[in-house]
């Protein structure tokens, strides 16, 4: 383990350096997003018929496929990210402070990807104005789509406010070290700043974190999103009170895995082994194991209730899902990940960052697969048989696969872009790792090298 002392220069390194690896990754992600935009333009020209989203019902395909499956997945990652960041601040989990801002960015990026999927799946983006916003007072009472838009917008604003409040502290104290080309952005971020606001902002952030924790099972991935499925009586594959806890567990699993990948990438790229330590990865793995165990238990509850003397429609839907090799593969991946985490707890020498990376990728792939299958199987087994004889089947089209690659590219681009403007690890984390309490407000505009020599006060 590194014995280096974290400094402000460390967290400024991504802003001040552009490597060939950074440019290559940026170009790759931009290419993926661009390919998706081309595919979307073709879909806008030809209609949704170019995808695998055709008719629906047994044997007739589905109208909600990868677009909605990926939408749920990204919303889960986003909501899980803000929950983790809120827990760090609310519960005093300073150990994870170096990755708290990454969790907040994961929320912003994930919500952007999820919102993009709503536009894509509507077929015509102008319907967002003509059908949703133009008649919001009516549609909000009876449209699942409008509830999706409402929840995503509310939490995007909440997270953006949350993130902006914490960034102000860093920008003010590191302004002399930040590039002048982004000065207009910094002026907006620090508009109206005064040294007396720090204590007020700290309380505001605490209350925002409390609101996130309280509302997580109500309006986040444990509430509105699963309710939109579970309360549809004609779709037995979706019904049941277990959907809310299952969605929340998947959200936290996916978010932890995504943060692990981001943390690993930044640590390796910028030599941050003394900031994002092995202990952080171990802790994230333990939390991941806990939520994987909950998820598998929830899946057992779903299977038992759906297979043992359940109504015939629900039993058929459950048998189709549980018997699918795709579902079995996803559950097996999560089970193997949990087995490794248990083994690591018993024998710590089994831990390695690369294994943590593999586990995170496996969990992300498994949760995406489960959500896609959840949506598709729900449509393939409705209570009514109106479309039973309709020919056709569902398999994601090339445009849908491009949408997944494009939104992953979008999320990575958000991280790459933001990391060149503001510190991706907040100054509070560095102060905590150094055992300090922040810099004196009296000298906040002096260079960092000088301000660290001044008497320190509680930040």
Please give, one letter per residue, the 3-state secondary structure of 213-250: HHHCCCCCCCCHHHHHHHCCCCCCCCCCCCHHHHHHHH
Q: Which of 36-50, 308-322, 440-454 has the lowest mean pLDDT?
A: 440-454
What pLDDT does residue 154 have?
81
Sign of CA dihedral 392, 397, 401, 407: negative
What pLDDT does residue 6 have?
83
357 pLDDT more than 60: yes
Reported confidence tier of residue 459, pLDDT bands at 50, 70, 90:
very low
Collapsing DSSP states into helix, strand and coil, what is residue 228?
A: helix
- % pLDDT > 70, the chain: 90
Mean local confidence (pLDDT), 226-243: 84
Q: Which of 29-38, 331-340, 444-453 has the lowest mean pLDDT?
A: 444-453
- Strand pairing partners for 53? 62
1 pLDDT more than 60: no
Query: Distance between CA atoms of 232 and 238, rounded to whole angstroms?
Result: 7
b/e string for 46-83 if b means 16 or more Cβ within 10 A? eebebbbbbebbbebbbbbbbbbbbbbbbbbbbbbbbb
Mean pLDDT across the chain, nearest whole number? 85
- Strand pairing partners for 62? 53
Q: 281 and 353 in contact (C-beta within 8 Å)?
A: yes
Query: Distance between CA atoms of 351 and 268, rounded to whole angstroms?
Result: 17
Residues 190-201: pLDDT tens digits?
Answer: 888 887 787 888
Q: 57 and 387 in contact (C-beta within 8 Å)?
A: yes
What pLDDT does residue 199 have?
80
Q: Which two tokens stand for residue 272?
A: 């941050």
R_g of the chain, CA atoms, integer Å = 23
Nearest to 94 by CA among 434, 342, 411, 403: 434
Element (H, E) at 278: helix 278-307
Q: Which two tokens stand for residue 78?
A: 């986003």
What pLDDT does residue 57 have?
55
Residues 244-270: pLDDT tens digits?
Answer: 899 999 999 999 999 999 999 999 999
- Give the distance from CA 192 to its chain's centroid: 31
Residues 111-156: pLDDT tens digits?
Answer: 999 989 988 988 888 878 877 777 777 877 777 778 878 878 888 8
Q: Which two tokens stand for residue 158?
A: 């909440």
Q: Which two tokens stand for residue 23?
A: 């440019």
């Amino acid at each position: 383990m590194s014995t280096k002392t974290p400094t402000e220069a460390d967290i400024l390194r991504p802003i001040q350096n552009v490597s060939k690896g950074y440019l290559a990754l940026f170009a790759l992600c931009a290419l993926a997003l661009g390919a998706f935009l081309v595919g979307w333009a073709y879909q806008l020209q030809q209609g949704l018929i170019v995808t695998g989203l055709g008719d629906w019902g047994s044997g007739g395909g589905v109208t909600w496929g990868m677009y909605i499956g990926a939408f749920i997945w990204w919303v889960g990652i986003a909501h899980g990210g803000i929950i983790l960041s809120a827990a760090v601040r609310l519960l005093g989990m300073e150990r994870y402070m170096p990755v708290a801002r990454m969790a907040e960015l994961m929320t912003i990026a994930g919500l952007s990807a999820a919102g993009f999927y709503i536009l894509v799946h509507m077929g015509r983006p102008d319907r967002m104005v003509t059908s949703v916003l133009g008649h919001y007072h009516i549609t909000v009472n009876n449209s699942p789509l409008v509830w999706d838009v409402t929840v995503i917008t509310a939490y995007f604003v909440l997270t953006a406010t949350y993130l902006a409040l914490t960034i102000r502290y860093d920008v003010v104290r590191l302004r002399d070290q930040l590039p002048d080309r982004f000065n207009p952005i910094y002026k907006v971020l620090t508009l109206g700043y005064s040294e007396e606001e720090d204590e007020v902002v700290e309380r505001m952030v605490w209350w925002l974190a409390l609101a996130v924790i309280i509302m997580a099972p109500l309006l986040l991935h444990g509430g509105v999103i699963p309710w939109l499925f579970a309360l549809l009586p004609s779709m037995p594959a979706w019904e049941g009170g277990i959907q809310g806890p299952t969605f929340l567990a998947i959200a936290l699993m996916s978010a932890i895995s995504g943060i692990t990948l981001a943390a690993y990438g930044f640590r390796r790229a910028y030599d941050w082994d003394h900031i994002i330590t092995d202990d952080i990865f171990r802790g994230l793995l333990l939390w991941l194991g806990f939520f994987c165990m909950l998820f598998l238990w929830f899946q057992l509850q779903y299977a038992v209730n759906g297979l043992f003397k359940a109504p015939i429609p629900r039993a058929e839907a459950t048998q189709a899902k549980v018997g699918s090799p795709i579902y079995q593969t996803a559950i097996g991946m999560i089970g193997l990940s949990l087995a490794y985490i248990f083994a690591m707890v018993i024998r710590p020498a089994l831990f390695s960052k690369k294994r943590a990376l593999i586990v995170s990728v496996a969990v992300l792939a498994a949760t995406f697969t489960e959500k896609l299958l959840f949506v598709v199987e729900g449509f393939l087994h409705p209570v009514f048989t109106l479309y039973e004889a309709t020919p056709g089947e569902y398999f994601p089209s090339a445009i849908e696969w491009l949408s997944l690659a494009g939104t992953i590219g979008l999320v990575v681009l958000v991280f790459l872009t933001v990391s060149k403007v503001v510190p991706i690890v907040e100054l509070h984390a560095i102060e905590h790792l150094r055992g300090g309490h922040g810099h004196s407000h009296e000298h906040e505009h002096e260079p960092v090298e000088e301000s660290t020599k001044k008497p320190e006060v509680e930040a």
